[in-house]
Amino acid sequence: MCYIIKTFINHLLILTALPLSCSPLALLWLCLSQLPMSYMSCIFQLSPRRTDVLTVTPWLAPVVWEGTFDPMLIDAIYKPMNLTVAATVFAVGKYIMFLQGFLESAERHFLVGFRVHYHIFTDEPEKVPPLTLAAGRQIIVHKVHKLNRWQDISASRMQLIQKVIEDRVHREAIYMFCLDVDAKFYSRWGAEALELLVAQMHSWFYREQRHGFTYERNPASKAYIPNGEGDFYYAGALFGGSVGEVYKLAKMCHSHLEIDRANGIEALWQEESHLNWYLLHNKPSKVLSPEYMWDNKKGQPGEIKVIRFSQVPKNYKEVRENA
Ligand SMILES: [Mn+2]
């Protein structure tokens, strides 16, 4: 907002060719540039926000879109807190090929200026690229066994997330995000995403009606959501929140995946189906717009002003173990 006002005044000054020293507009410009951030935020709040998209859920959780927050103000609030954020990334089997692109782009855009611990789960630790990270950021590699089916790899994530929190993350970080590795960052993905329980509207379903969501519809599954229920279809590729909330989520989803497995049931989208069940019964306190995990196959519709993080287009036959 501040930037827009300044740019607008700058343009006016240039157009009217008024000398900076005596122009009343220049005085206004000076005043604006001297205003403390708290006043600037008031101006921002009084201006119209996004009206073309849903910006708050029926349970009053914000939905984060470009234009709904002031990144400078967000950083001014969160940076002094000196937070550590953990990020879990699974680079198992052929997915290791995405790790370098993921990490290099994350260093440019993901929570820049914050301490970030990347927890990389891989069956080939020697293939983790040697990268120099910004100060306060580190890579922690966890060796895992390669499972044969991608469905099992996906289902085992919840168990590994639960375990890494128990082992160390609960001591080391305040917030945590669980991210898919087959994606790259393109623009700011910042502290505006921090909250107790954070989920993202899936880029393929944010315009869909409830009946179009691909929830698990088998009543025998622990991920069952009946027709007529459900808020959003959330992406399995991105969720997070406080370490405590992510722990509760991972523990319950893992136990539900195990119960289903014991009963010979595999939910339609495995982990994602169980995540959607959990988030229906435990509402996220912040919902991220599809900007936060986009799919470039969908182009860039007008409401997507910024693509912050997006899936790398891939041939499933090349990367999945049993596609
Ligand atoms: Mn993925």
State the binding site: 90-92, 95, 180-182, 202, 214, 272, 295
Q: Which residues pair with 87 in a beta bridge?
A: 118, 177
- Above 70 in pLDDT, residue 1? no
**Could you confirm whether 272 is annotated as catalytic?**
yes
Q: Are 23 and 13 in contact (CB under 8 A)?
A: yes
- Above 60 in pLDDT, residue 35? no
Question: What are the residue boundaries of the structural domains of the chain, listed by start?
Answer: 2-46, 63-319
Q: Which residues pair with 288 in a beta bridge?
A: 64, 200
Per-residue pLDDT of 40-75, as tens digits, reads 555 555 555 899 999 999 999 999 999 999 999 999
Task: Find the catalytic residue in 66, 195, 272, 291.
Answer: 272
CA of 310 to the centre of ligand 1 (A): 10
Confidence of residue 154 (pLDDT cuts 50, 70, 90): low
3-state DSSP assignment of residue 40: helix
Between CA 42 and CA 142 the distance in angstroms is: 46
Helix (H) or strand (E) holding 152: helix 150-164
The CB-side HSE value for 199 (13 A sphere, CA atoms) comes to 25
> 270: closest CA among 154, 149, 146, 150?
154
Going by the DSSP 8-state scheme, the letter that residue 54 receives in this structure is -
CA of 234 to the centre of ligand 1 (A): 13
The stretch 112-138 carries a mean pLDDT of 97
Predicted local confidence at residue 146, as pLDDT? 83
> pTM of the predicted model, to two decimals?
0.84
In sequence order, the 6+-apart residues with CB closer than 8 A to the CB of 45 are: none
Average pLDDT, the chain: 88
30 vs 187, residue with greater confidence? 187
Backbone angles phi, psi at 236, to 5 degrees: -80, -15
Predicted local confidence at residue 109, as pLDDT? 98
Between CA 321 and CA 154 the distance in angstroms is: 12
Predicted local confidence at residue 275, as pLDDT? 98
Per-residue DSSP letters for 236-296? EEEEEEEHHHHHHHHHHHHHHHHHHHHTT---TTTHHHHHHHHHHHS--SEEE-GGGSEEG
Predicted local confidence at residue 244, as pLDDT? 98
Buried-exposed string 26-44: b where 16+ CB fall within 10 A, e elsewhere: beebeeeeeeeeeebbeeb
The domain 63-319: what is its CATH number? Answer: 3.90.550.10
